Amino acid sequence: MRLHTIFSIAVLCTVPMAALADGNTHMTGGHTPSAEAARVYIANLADGDTVTSPVTVVFGLQGMGVAPAGVERDHTGHHHLLIDR
């Protein structure tokens, strides 16, 4: 199985909600501050690696913390992992 990974931190990839009919509507999940040097990486695999099932993917994170989707706390976010088999 060839593993292609696409990941992002939710605080960097949000859907703009400014076009709502009522500008006073409050939406959660917006941008939260992150350290300029923050980075996310996969620690145990490289792009194009071939793996067999089961596979363990180890995320690394520097300069931020991990929080569940919907939690709005400075310097936190969450990962997304998509696998193309």
* pTM of the predicted protein model: 0.52
Amino acid 42: pLDDT: 92
Hey, where are the domains in the chain?
1-85
DSSP states along the chain = -B---B---GGGS----TT-SSTT---SS------TT-EEEESS--TT-B--SS----EEEESSEE--TT---TTEE----B---
Amino acid 46: pLDDT: 92
Amino acid 23: pLDDT: 42
Q: Split the chain (85 residues) into runs of 10 and give each run's mean pLDDT.
A: 37 32 45 83 91 91 89 86 79
